[in-house]
Amino acid sequence: MIVLRQRVCNLVSKLYPPSPLSHRSKKLKASMALSRFEYVKQFETDDRCLPNCWIVVRIDGKGFHRFSDQHNFLKPNDDRSLHLMNCAAKQVMTEFKDIVLAYGQSDEYSFVFKINTSTYNRRSSKLMTNICSLFASTFVFNWQKYFHDVKLKYPPAFDGRVVLYPSNQNLLDYLSWRQADCHINNMYNTVFWALVQQGKLTPQAAQERLKGTLAADKNEILFQDYAINYNDLPEFYRKGTTLIREKKEEQITHKIPQQDGTFKEKAELKIKSELVELHTDIIGSSFWNNHPEILTPKLKR
C-alpha cells in the first residue's frame, strides 16, 4: 500500500512539476489562498466599549456555595479563601496596568479600568475572558499555598461581565453598592452561623429566626445572645478588600567608578508604583479625597 502511494505521488510530481517560486512568491501565494476564507471574520461582533466610560469587569464564583461546602470552608468567613481571592486579584492587576482599582468581597471581584484605557482596543470580550481566565488559573495555581491540607476536589469556575459607567458618580455608586452588599451579607452570615454554631439551631430554624429582621435586630441578637459587637469584627470581613496602586519613593545607591580606581556612591530617588491592599470605607468621601488620582487620570494627547 505504501509503495503504491509513493508511485502515485511520483507520477503526480512528473505531470505537475512545482514552479520555481521565490520565498516571497510562496508567501504571497499562501496569503492569496487563505484570503478567500477571511470573509468569515465579518461575522464577528464589534464589541468595543464606548469611549470616555469607566470599564468595570466583575467576576463571580460559579456555584461557590457548593464549592465552599465541598472544601470545608470555615463559616462565616474563611481567611484562606479571602486571601486566595486577593492573591488572584493582585496577579490580574500586575498583568493589566490600566486597572486603577479593584474591589473584592466573598467570591467576587470588580476591576476598574482607567477611563481612557486602550487595552485590547476596549473590546469587552477580550477584557472579560482574559481577566476571568487569569483570575481562575491563579486561584487554582496558588490553592495549595493557602489551603495546605485541603485537596482541590474539582476546578472552580468564575463568570464575568463588563459594565460601563459614563460618569465618576456612577462609578462611585457602583463601588458603594458592592461594599454595602458586603456589609449586608457579612452581617447576615455572622448572625446566621452564630445561631447555628453557638445557638445549636438547625439552618432552617436559623433562617426562620432571621426572617424579617433589620440590621438593628441582628446587632441585638449578636450582642445580647453571643456577646459579639459587630463593629469590633475585622474590617477585612465587614468592608471587603480594596486594591489600588500607590506611588512610593525608593532610594537607590549607585557606585560610580573614579579615575583613581575607587568608587563614589551617588543616591537617587526612584518613584515606583506598588499594589496596596486596604480594608477601608469607600462609600464616604474620605477615601476618594485621599486618592484623587484614581478619578482624574491623565488624558492622552
Q: Which residues are annotated as a binding site for Mg(2+)?
A: 60-61, 107
- Strand runs labelled E in the chain: 54-61, 99-105, 108-113, 158-165, 241-257, 263-278
56 Cα distance to chain centroid = 10
Q: Which amino acid is at 265?
A: E
The DSSP 8-state label assigned to residue 292 in this structure reads: G
Cell numbers given for 132: 476571568
Alpha carbon distance 214, 56 (integer Å): 31
Q: Which residues are annotated as part of the binding site for GTP?
A: 60-65, 106-107
Residues 131, 95, 102, 99: is their CA dihedral positive or negative?
negative
The enclosing H or E element of 125 equals helix 124-141
CA neighbor of 89 nearest in space, from 75, 118, 110: 110
Q: Which residues are annotated as part of the binding site?
A: 60-65, 106-107
The DSSP-derived string for 22-61 is -HHHHHHHHHHHHHTTGGGGGGS---BPPTTSEEEEEEEE
Q: Are 185 and 109 in contact (CB under 8 A)?
A: no
With residues binned 3-state (H G I as helix, E B as strand, rest as coil), the percentages for the chain, rounded to 5, are: 50, 20, 30
Alpha carbon distance 216, 190 (integer Å): 14
Q: Are 281 and 182 in contact (CB under 8 A)?
A: no
